[in-house]
A = this chain, B = another copy of it.
Amino acid sequence: MKRSERLVDMTKYLMERPHTLISLPFFAKRYDAAKSSISEDLAILKHTLAANQDGILETIAGAAGGVRYIPYLGQGHAEKYLTDLASRIEDPSRILPGNFVYLSDVLSSTQDLRLIGSLIATRYAYSHIDAVMTVETKGIPLAEAVARYLNVPFVTARKRSKVTEGATVSVNYISSSLERVSKMELPTRALAKGSNVLIIDDFMKGGGTITGMEQLVREFEGTVAGITVLCEADFDKEKLVDDYISLVKINQIDAGKSLIVAEPGNFLTRTDFSRF
């Protein structure tokens, strides 16, 4: 196989398997090529991704070595996308009764999910995440997108028990927007004990739902690697969660004036792009 053909296949192969170590002999065998040729191919791939700031090809030396594709979006891409997203969220037709914000279009756009998933996966690329957790329903596509780029499973806590998931562990939490005690649960076999878990949700007001997921992680003897939400509504009451990252921050919603004000969240300042 020619270099040009190898490069097409290699790019596709690696993109489909993020964060997975692929050995040089594997590629040498796949393409019936010398290891030295494969090394040159990979150097081209690495250099091209780095030049575009939209991916990292990590080389691991030694007998157990190989290459690993790490989904990544550089600071320029992040600023551009989040500025654009915040301005799209400033559309007053998104305001719903109770100062909720309609975001289902963003959460069901596969191109938005690609960028959001890549950004969050950039932030946690080296955090050794074992699983991504969310709670039904609207967090699910977000969690899937992040899990895809980290190439780990995602688990979905449910607010109601279902007969199709077997035994579950449940926790109670204060749902701050509704000011009542709620319950969420996770099937016992969904998450391995001691996992390092990234918590993802679509919208955070008081943070009550997040505290429920933190509790679930503790019940599974795991650790919380991080908490990231698509949107936080900052004008609201004090948060029950301190250490979280938001992609977009909504500063004001005034249904009467048809006004919604948003800006990129703390994601940009809380991500160290320079370490890549």
Which A residues fall within an 8 A CB radius of B? 2-5, 7-9, 11-12, 15-17, 44-45, 47-49, 51-52, 54-55, 96-98, 100-105, 108-111, 113-114, 136-138, 140-141, 144-145, 147-148, 151-156, 158, 162-166, 187, 189-190, 203
Contacts and interface: CB of A to CB of B under 8 A. Distances in A.
Contacts of A137: 136-137, 140, 156, 158, 162
Contact of A108 (B47, B101, B155, B164): B155
A100 B144 CA distance: 24
A51 B148 CA distance: 26
In the complex, the count of this chain's copies comes to 2
Nearest to A142: B144
B8 A96 contact: no
Nearest to A100: B164
A8 B3 CA distance: 11
Given A144-B141, A158-B137, A151 B8 contact: no
A10 to B, nearest CB: 8
Q: Which of A12, A16, A105 has the most CB of B within 10 A?
A: A12
A141 to B, nearest CB: 5
A138 B164 contact: yes
Contacts of A44: 2, 4-5, 8
Which 9 A-B pairs rank lowest in CB-CB distance, beginning with the nearest? A11-B11, A8-B48, A100-B164, A110-B148, A140-B140, A5-B48, A108-B153, A4-B44, A7-B7
Contacts of A156: 104, 108, 137
A117 to B, nearest CB: 10
Contact of A102 (B12, B54, B141, B189): B189
A12 B9 CA distance: 11
A153 B104 CA distance: 10
